[in-house]
Structure 1
Amino acid sequence: MAPPDDGFPLASRVTRPPGRPSTAPEASMQTTHVLVLVLYLLLMVGIGAWFSRSKEVSTGDDFVFAGRNLPRPVMIGTLLATWVGSGTIIGGASFAYSYGPLASIFFLAGTPVGIAVLYGLASRIRQGAAYTVPELLERRYGVSVRMIAAVITVLAYTGITAYQFTGGGQIISVITPLSPEQGAVVVALLVTFLAVGGGLKSVAWSDFLSALIIVACLLAALPLVLGTDLGGVGEYWRDLPDDYRTLSGGLGALQLLGYFLPLFLLILADQNMYQRLGAARDGAEARRSTGGFFLSSFLVTVPVALLGSAAFVLMPGIEPDSAVLSLAGEGYLPVLMGGLLLAGALAFIITTGSSFLLSGAGNVVYDVTRRLLGVQMDDRRRLLVHRLAVLGIGAVAYVLGRFFPTVLELQMYSYTVYGVALAPPVLAIFLWRRASKWGALTAMLLSTVVTIVWEQLGQPYGVNSVLVSLPVSLVTLVAVSLVLPDSGVPRTEMAADAETADPKD
């Protein structure tokens, strides 16, 4: 998620001329990059085709939970790659380019802090093993809360998927003669193919491979960019403008908090995280995988912060969104490594898109088709409906990104909407027994309205909407729950059976 414009200059803070890229011939560099990209795309297609075989995916549980037999390295890789997409490779790098490496701590810290919270809840999340987050909410609050949450989730995940199409198209346009719009078509097709074929199995294994590629490239790029292109860490640090060397990056405390909270809240209630932890063999394995996710997240966020700010020193006039990508595309890295870095960045975006597409389709299957409409489905029919839902959401996401950019901007509010609306009620399932149906329902609706209205007003006084809507959500949840408590003792065990579960499923 790229940081919004807050009036601070983005590319005019230093006057140092751009660094001198490597002397690799441009035509040769582009040919190598295209070759690496094509090979990567073919590999992703091969993974999708392999796990699309009927013996790999024969039931709805295989499609959603990958048979609950993923090896731990794959579990860690899929957690990492699912979360680290264009929001980090493009948005995080843009923030570092705009405000410096130290301020990036606040933007990127939402990931490890959120993972630390999930680590404490991982065993209980695995115990519940729900198909969707709205299903978890129904177990505690009832069907009305589930339906509202399902609508919010589908809208948010469709918008996030569309953003991955757009970001992936930008990367392809850097590597090939294709335009960003044409590149978005390629990404949309591959994302949909991975999700519709093998479900979580194909997505998880492609996630694992993508994580290996991007982590290796980011770590290898650090000494080359900071050491070779900039003359060492000391020279890099001295060439940064004064405010880039401060912890705030020139931003106020409220602005920094406004950047931290959306990602933090999103990961706490992210359906992708819950589904992957539900795919672990048991609670202990879910916890260990979350620990690995926590450690591996620094292997991405720290290099992105350093490389993004280094790109500002080398190329002070570029678009902030392209900070890390331009290091590869403009020849600051060896040709092969640059191609791998671009392919790895595209890999993360594709796998993130596949995950959100697959997860959003799960809401259509389990929350809408099965729960709301009451359609009875055996495994074969449920698998078919899930795949059709993937195709439908993929098509809508592409239309949003291609033909209705202003609608897509509205969809981007869903980062905050999803976090402030769903995170407090979801966490209350684990942490506060007195949270009630009416408290959760009122908090979800009111925080959603406040977020959209605040964004439409243009963030008055420069205050990020999350700083307004999160207090509204928390206060409403607590106050209404105390005034209108549920009858009886609320259930807090995640393994509790939902009274309304479909007995034939």
Structure 2
Amino acid sequence: MNTFTILFGLYLFALVLMGLYSSRKLKNLEDFLVAGRKLNLPLTSATLMATWTGAAAITGYTGWIYEAGYSMVWIAVATTTSLLLIALLLSRTLQRLGVLTVPDILEKNYDKKTKHVGALLISIYCIGIVSGELLGGAYIMATVLGYNFDAALFLTAFIVISYCLLGGLWGVAVTDLFQFFLLASGLIIAVPLTLLKMGGWTFLHQSIAHLDPDHLNVFGYTTFDMIVAWFIIIYASNFIAPEIYQRMYAARTERTAQLSMGIAGLWDVFLTVAAVILGCSAFVYFQGGIETDLALPKLLVELFPGIAGSFLMVTLLAVIMSTADSLLVVAGGTLSHDFFGFGEKSQLKWVRFFTVLSGVVALCLCFYFESIMDSILFSSSVYAAGLFIPVISCFVWKKGTRDAAFYSCISGGGVTIVWRILGWGLDPVLPGIFVCFFLFVAISAWQTRQ
């Protein structure tokens, strides 16, 4: 039995204990979905940061830096600024709402049919991102343990679904605090030591310039329309992200909600620096010779053999699982509470059922998507194109009508999916969100003038 197996076994044992402890707090649906609205600042901040730091932020984003260099920094700029703006403009309002899910906002401002469409789009978003997280976990297990990739994928899915069922958001929040400290410790060890092993920042920079100068150009591997699409996807999906809304609902006070959101935004700056250093190091070390999503786990295995490397691999898995479990809770709650609307007495049972179902669907989608970032960006695009305009208008423009919200949701999400399937050149989110905006404004204006 190798060191990684022992450390990972201890990590899983700790998760099970925390899940069992948290399950004792579950008395109703509110406890499962929003932790009884009792999360303090450390728990709210930790669960936000741990959820935000998933396969996309670590393995996927580092892989993109490895592949395309500084061009990918635009994604980090959009992410950080959007999180800080949410803290300033939206966090306190969300905490005051007293609802359970994003579709509850749609029902409150529009009607039930819009709520159902919103619930479906949110489920697509959550399941797509969980799929990316499962891919990330499988890549790590396959790299470290030498498992067959499919076996590693099934094992990752089984672990995530199992402990997610135990404690709902209480369990997720408690384990996220633990997983966040694991992650922070891992990055504090990995980033400076990697830089040291690669000869320091100046030497690393010179090596990249020698291998490929475009890696050091923020426009080297991207175009203006790609940057615009990234900003639209990230801003739109973050401003209505169900995992963010869920944490704001669960925060004990408005101040807790705002501070924790601001801390998450600042944390993203640190993540960006870490991803740039690790991704650039992988590019110099492997010189483009490995698959994008394997860049980070392969680098850590090569540079840190033994117990240090095993610990870093466990921290990567902890990060991925903390995002996957959070979104499975959102998906299960959204389908049960919002889409099917089961009675209160049976809702907790049905939430658990749909949590498992969402995990199984996410597992199946792993065989469709090409990479971690492909899965996450596509699901975010569908969600943003269909729901950003109707949801944000609930806070800033009260003239939106029920029909406008309903038809713009369907059209925006639908156009994005069809555009992706047909493979037309423009990024699918651009036509999708344009159609959504046009229909929402046009139908609202037409109906309010009658």
Q: Structure 1 length as normaliser, TM-score? A: 0.83
The answer to whether structure 1 residue 125 and structure 2 residue 94 are counterparts is yes
* C-alpha distance in 1 between matches for 2:284 and 2:320: 26
Alignment partner of 1:110 out of 73, 78, 94: 78
* C-alpha distance in 2 between matches for 1:45 and 1:444: 39
> Hey, what does 1:149 align to over in structure 2?
118
> Hey, what does 1:174 align to over in structure 2?
143
Q: CA deviation at 1:405?
A: 6.0
- Asked if 1 retains the 8 angstrom alpha-carbon contact of 2:44 and 2:256, the reply is no
Alignment partner of 1:45 out of 16, 28, 39: 16
Alignment partner of 1:459 out of 424, 430, 442: 424
- Asked if 1 retains the 8 angstrom alpha-carbon contact of 2:60 and 2:136, the reply is no
* C-alpha distance in 1 between matches for 2:42 and 2:128: 29
Give the secondary-structure state (helix, strand or coil) at the position aligned to 2:56.
helix
- Asked if 1 retains the 8 angstrom alpha-carbon contact of 2:131 and 2:365, the reply is yes
The answer to whether structure 1 residue 469 and structure 2 residue 432 are counterparts is yes
Structure 1 291/395 Cα, relative in aligned 2: closer, same or farther at 3 Å? same
In structure 1, what residue type is equivalent to 2:399? Answer: R
More helix by share: 2
Alignment partner of 2:300 out of 309, 316, 328: 328
> Hey, what does 1:439 align to over in structure 2?
404
* C-alpha distance in 2 between matches for 1:215 and 1:261: 29
- Asked if 2 retains the 8 angstrom alpha-carbon contact of 1:159 and 1:414, the reply is yes
1:205-284 pair list within 5 angstroms: 205-228=174-197, 230-240=198-208, 241-284=212-255
Deviations 1:164-190 (A, max 9, x none): 222211111112132221122222122
Give the secondary-structure state (helix, strand or coil) at the position aligned to 2:26.
coil
Deviations 1:110-135 (A, max 9, x none): 32122123211111101113211111
In structure 2, what residue type is equivalent to 1:324? Answer: L
* C-alpha distance in 1 between matches for 2:429 and 2:242: 20
- Asked if 2 retains the 8 angstrom alpha-carbon contact of 1:129 and 1:275, the reply is no
1:18-417 pair list within 5 angstroms: 31-53=2-24, 56-100=25-69, 102-119=70-87, 120-228=89-197, 230-240=198-208, 241-316=212-287, 317-330=289-302, 332-333=303-304, 335-370=306-341, 375-378=342-345, 381-401=346-366, 413-417=378-382
> Hey, what does 1:17 align to over in structure 2?
none
In structure 2, what residue type is equivalent to 1:126? Answer: Q
In structure 2, what residue type is equivalent to 1:485? Answer: T
Q: CA deviation at 1:411?
A: 9.0
Deviations 1:42-92 (A, max 9, x none): 222222122123xx1122111111122223112111111212211122221
In structure 2, what residue type is equivalent to 1:45? Answer: V
* C-alpha distance in 2 between matches for 1:401 and 1:49: 29
Give the secondary-structure state (helix, strand or coil) at the position aligned to 2:327.
helix
* C-alpha distance in 1 between matches for 2:273 and 2:402: 41
The answer to whether structure 1 residue 481 and structure 2 residue 409 are counterparts is no
Gaps of 5+ in 2: none
In structure 1, what residue type is equivalent to 2:433? Answer: L
Asked which structure has the greater CA Rg, the reply is 1
CA RMSD for the aligned pairs? 2.2
Structure 1 97/261 Cα, relative in aligned 2: closer, same or farther at 3 Å? farther
* C-alpha distance in 2 between matches for 1:485 and 1:362: 34
Q: CA deviation at 1:412?
A: 6.6
Structure 1 419/165 Cα, relative in aligned 2: closer, same or farther at 3 Å? same
In structure 1, what residue type is equivalent to 2:232? Answer: L
- Asked if 2 retains the 8 angstrom alpha-carbon contact of 1:218 and 1:304, the reply is no
Structure 1 454/388 Cα, relative in aligned 2: closer, same or farther at 3 Å? closer
Deviations 1:136-191 (A, max 9, x none): 11111111211111111223322322332222111111121322211222221221
Gaps of 5+ in 1: 1-29, 488-505
Q: CA deviation at 1:274?
A: 0.7
Deviations 1:304-347 (A, max 9, x none): 122112210111211111222112122x1363332222111111
Say how many residue pairs are matched.
443
Structure 1 192/250 Cα, relative in aligned 2: closer, same or farther at 3 Å? closer
- Asked if 2 retains the 8 angstrom alpha-carbon contact of 1:420 and 1:473, the reply is yes
Structure 1 302/435 Cα, relative in aligned 2: closer, same or farther at 3 Å? farther
- Asked if 1 retains the 8 angstrom alpha-carbon contact of 2:49 and 2:267, the reply is yes
Q: Percent identity?
A: 27
* C-alpha distance in 2 between matches for 1:405 and 1:414: 11
Structure 1 242/399 Cα, relative in aligned 2: closer, same or farther at 3 Å? closer
Deviations 1:193-250 (A, max 9, x none): 222111001111111222222222223222222222x211111111112111112133
Q: CA deviation at 1:415?
A: 1.9
387-396 or 113-122, which moves further after superposition? Answer: 387-396
Q: CA deviation at 1:410?
A: 8.3
In structure 1, what residue type is equivalent to 2:149? Answer: P
* C-alpha distance in 2 between matches for 1:376 and 1:320: 46
